Chain A
Amino acid sequence: MKKEIIKKHPLAIRWFHWVNFPVLGIMIWSGLLIYWANDVYRIGFGDTTLIKFFPKSFYDTFKINGRLSEGMAYHFLFMWLFFLNGIAYVLYTIFSGEWRDLVPIKGSFKRSWQVLLHDLHIRKTAPPITGKYNDAQRIAYTAIIVMGIGSILTGLAIYKPVQLEWLCWIFGGYKMARIIHFILTIGYVLFFLVHIAQVIRAGWNNFRAMITGFEVKKIKEETVAEEPKK
């Protein structure tokens, strides 16, 4: 078995990824401190509540209670890092051409189902991959950018709802903008859970690439032997 070092993630991508991780974490935490002050959202029908956001035990566990001013102060500091890092990432992917690996292509939606079935061990073979990522990844990594833009715009709408009334209007009003801002946050948490599961499933070689930038490719000896001798 011969090994080869293959470049996978440019330094800029790794940098943006690892900056975003703690920053988004702090945004979610400080967002919870803010949300607590008016925690009216739930999933249910009529008077029946299936999921309440959030139960008292959740607040107690994470010490969320009575920290609105603190939450706002941190949220309105780290929003800048989240925003600037996100902008830098998007600009980098555009100018470096990395975007080609990150956006869905023809047949991506169909193949992403096949990826899902394969990952759930329902389907034996994985569909072919064009570029760096499979089609489920293409959709996920594009969706997360759309979500990020959505968080910034809904956040801005509820931050300055009078001066940016038109922005509130786009999202269906002040209350709806706050709801969307919240749902997107739940979306990040779900993304994170799947992301972590997939990273564990993919293994060390894949994870190491997000820190070192390279992946190790193993090449069978036979193919090497076929090369003409000097």
Chain B
Amino acid sequence: MANIFKTIFTSNKKLNIDQQIMKKTVVSFFFFFVFAGAAFWGWKWLRKQPMEPGSEKNRTSAVLRKVLNTNEDIFKGLLSKNNLAKEYPRSKAANPARVNGYLGLKTKLDSNWAMNVIKANGDTLKIKLDDIKKLPKIEFAFNFKCIEGWSQVTHWGGVKFSDFVKAYGLGTESAMNYLGLATPDKQYYVGIDMPSALHPQTILCYELNGMTLPMDQGYPLRLIIPVKYGVKSLKRIGYMYFDNKRTPDYWADVRGYDYYTGL
């Protein structure tokens, strides 16, 4: 065997056809295995990256997080106020609508509930449901999409978030980069980029199928944001806050999901 290699790689004589075939084959396979090895090593490297800290079920590494954030930068340019989620006839809406999570709803709702809006200057506005209901109401049915992959046409009613910030003089706040929402017990919280929050179909929602929101759908007030997966449509809003940095997000920070999850 060693003799053949010596002949095909060091001989000055013209190689016969079998030697030529052997030489070309050996060289090609050598490079093939070098590249295959490099690819395999790259894959192992990617799989070995340490997971993000502070999360028991987070399987996303810093490298993958960078990729998700880069994808956000590439695709957020698609987001437009003119691109509305398709609206369906209300008769097509599911009743009852699917309930898919109880995070942040496990504590008893305070009978004195009010939404705490934390302003940029540190003041807190306490806003009751009746105050919200005084603002112009919109209703629509759209195909609600869960990050798990299912979707369902559902019919919601409430106040446009963009109308809400205008009515409550939150101009400084809505000029910031991120909106944050949390349940009263702070067990569930989401962060949303402001352009998505100000999208004309993003509503502070208090009705489902024309009726008061059921408890398991986030009574008294929840978010409905059709330009995001359902994970961002937080139920039972307790706190609202604003920041120029990313606001905390349960599924991104603790469970390794993409922060943006824009549709």
Interface segment, one of B58-66, B115-123, B127-135: B58-66
**Nearest Cβ on chain B to A121's Cβ, whole angstroms:** 30
* In the assembled complex, B32 has its CB within 8 A of some CB on chain A: yes
- Interface size band for A: 35 or more
- Known contacts A73-B64, A76-B67, A175-B151, A211 near B28 by CB under 8 Å: yes
User: 1/0 per residue A78-107: CB within 8 Å of B?
Assistant: 000000000000000000000000000000
Cβ B28 vs Cβ A213 within 8 A: yes
* In the assembled complex, A119 has its CB within 8 A of some CB on chain B: no
Can you list 10 A-B pairs with a CB-CB distance of less than 8 A?
A2-B17, A66-B57, A70-B59, A76-B67, A77-B67, A162-B85, A163-B78, A163-B80, A165-B83, A178-B149
Give A37 to B223 CA distance when docked, in angstroms: 23
Cβ A174 vs Cβ B145 within 8 A: yes
* In the assembled complex, B97 has its CB within 8 A of some CB on chain A: no
* In the assembled complex, A141 has its CB within 8 A of some CB on chain B: no
User: 1/0 per residue B53-85: CB within 8 Å of A?
Assistant: 000011110001101100100010011100111
Cβ A160 vs Cβ B255 within 8 A: no
Interface residue from A2, A26, A38, A66 paired with B150 (Cβ < 8 Å): A38
Chain B residues proximal to chain A, CB less than 8 Å: 17-18, 20-21, 24-25, 28-29, 32, 35-36, 39, 43, 57-60, 64-65, 67-68, 71, 75, 78-80, 83-86, 143, 145-151, 226-227, 251, 255-258, 262-263
Give A217 to B256 CA distance when docked, in angstroms: 55
Cβ A163 vs Cβ B263 within 8 A: yes
* In the assembled complex, A131 has its CB within 8 A of some CB on chain B: no
User: 1/0 per residue A1-30: CB within 8 Å of B?
Assistant: 011110000000000001000100010000
Give A38 to B99 CA distance when docked, in angstroms: 15
* In the assembled complex, A125 has its CB within 8 A of some CB on chain B: no
* In the assembled complex, A149 has its CB within 8 A of some CB on chain B: no
- Measured between beta carbons, the chain B residues less than 8 angstroms from A212 are 24-25, 28-29
Chain A residues numbered 158-174 whose CB sits less than 8 Å from any CB in chain B: 159-165, 174
* In the assembled complex, A34 has its CB within 8 A of some CB on chain B: yes
Give A76 to B234 CA distance when docked, in angstroms: 25
- Measured between beta carbons, the chain A residues less than 8 angstroms from B21 are 3, 5, 216
- Measured between beta carbons, the chain B residues less than 8 angstroms from A69 are 58-60, 251, 255-257
Task: Give chain A's interface secondary structure class.
Answer: helix
**Nearest Cβ on chain A to B133's Cβ, whole angstroms:** 27
Chain B residue at minimal CB-CB distance from A212: B28
**Nearest Cβ on chain A to B85's Cβ, whole angstroms:** 5
- Measured between beta carbons, the chain A residues less than 8 angstroms from B67 are 73, 76-77
- Known contacts A5-B17, A69-B59, A216-B21, A163 near B32 by CB under 8 Å: no
Chain A residues proximal to chain B, CB less than 8 Å: 2-5, 18, 22, 26, 34-35, 37-38, 40, 66-70, 72-74, 76-77, 159-165, 174-175, 178, 208, 211-214, 216
- Measured between beta carbons, the chain A residues less than 8 angstroms from B58 are 69
Interface residue from B17, B35, B75, B145 paired with A161 (Cβ < 8 Å): B145
Give A73 to B39 CA distance when docked, in angstroms: 19
- Measured between beta carbons, the chain A residues less than 8 angstroms from B226 are 162
Interface residue from A67, A73, A208 paired with B25 (Cβ < 8 Å): A208
Cβ B83 vs Cβ A76 within 8 A: no
Cβ A163 vs Cβ B64 within 8 A: no
- Known contacts A18-B32, A160-B262, A160-B263, A76 near B71 by CB under 8 Å: yes
- By Cβ-Cβ distance, the 8 closest A-B pairs, closest first, are A38-B149, A212-B28, A37-B148, A69-B256, A70-B59, A163-B78, A73-B64, A162-B263
Chain B residue at minimal CB-CB distance from A74: B64
- Measured between beta carbons, the chain B residues less than 8 angstroms from A3 are 17-18, 21
Interface residue from A18, A72, A208 paired with B258 (Cβ < 8 Å): A72
- Measured between beta carbons, the chain B residues less than 8 angstroms from A164 are 78
Interface residue from B24, B80, B149, B151 paired with A37 (Cβ < 8 Å): B149
